[in-house]
């Protein structure tokens, strides 16, 4: 089994502009359906917090984060991608509430204390699960905001 960092490096590098991993997932789900491992009668959605790979200390308070002052041509890749999805309901447009802190290296991640411990930057993985056989049939990543999670469901 490959290490999780291998998947991350390939997803952000070699397969960045490809739907290869999504295609592999969909073929696997189709095979599960054809083999009768997905009943199709009952589904559930569950959101799991995934900690973002960022330094908590490398962030800015919301009052100091001025998106209009960022030149997208000079910004790092993560910031450019964040600016591109500000109108996406899974990210910026899901709520008018601004996060308390914004990460410099991954501004699309969400500052949250949902785990009842110290606050961290996270994403939510929203899984659609067939309840008959516990097979994940779809997944969508969003910011860890309830409105985005509901939209993904």
Q: What is the pLDDT of residues 9-56, one digit of tens each?
A: 666 666 666 777 788 889 999 999 999 999 888 999 888 888 888 877
**Claim: this prediction has a pTM higher than 0.75:** no
- Are 55 and 92 part of one and the same domain? yes
Shared domain for 16 and 57, answered yes or no, is no
Q: Domain tally for the chain? A: 2
80 and 57 in a common domain: yes
pLDDT digits (tens, 9 = 90+) for 128-152: 999 999 999 998 888 887 777 777 7
* Token digits of residue 20: 């290869």
Residues 83 and 54 in one domain: yes
Domain that holds residue 142: 41-152
CB-based contact 148:96 (threshold 8 Å): no
Yes or no: say if 95 and 145 are a contact pair by the CB < 8 Å rule. yes
């Amino acid at each position: 089994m490959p290490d999780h960092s291998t998947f991350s490096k390939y997803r952000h590098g070699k397969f960045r502009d490809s739907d290869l991993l999504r295609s592999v997932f969909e073929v696997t789900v189709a095979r599960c359906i054809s083999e009768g491992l997905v009943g199709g009668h009952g589904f559930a959605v569950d959101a799991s917090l995934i900690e973002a790979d960022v330094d908590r200390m490398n962030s800015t308070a919301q009052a100091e984060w001025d998106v209009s002052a960022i030149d997208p041509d000079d910004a790092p890749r993560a910031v450019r991608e964040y600016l591109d999805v500000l109108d996406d309901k899974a990210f910026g447009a899901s709520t008018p509430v601004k996060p308390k802190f914004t990460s410099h290296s991954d501004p699309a991640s969400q500052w949250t204390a949902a785990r009842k411990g110290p606050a961290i930057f996270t994403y939510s993985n929203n899984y659609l699960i067939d309840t008959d056989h516990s097979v994940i049939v779809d997944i969508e990543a969003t910011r860890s905001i309830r409105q985005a999670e509901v939209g993904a469901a």
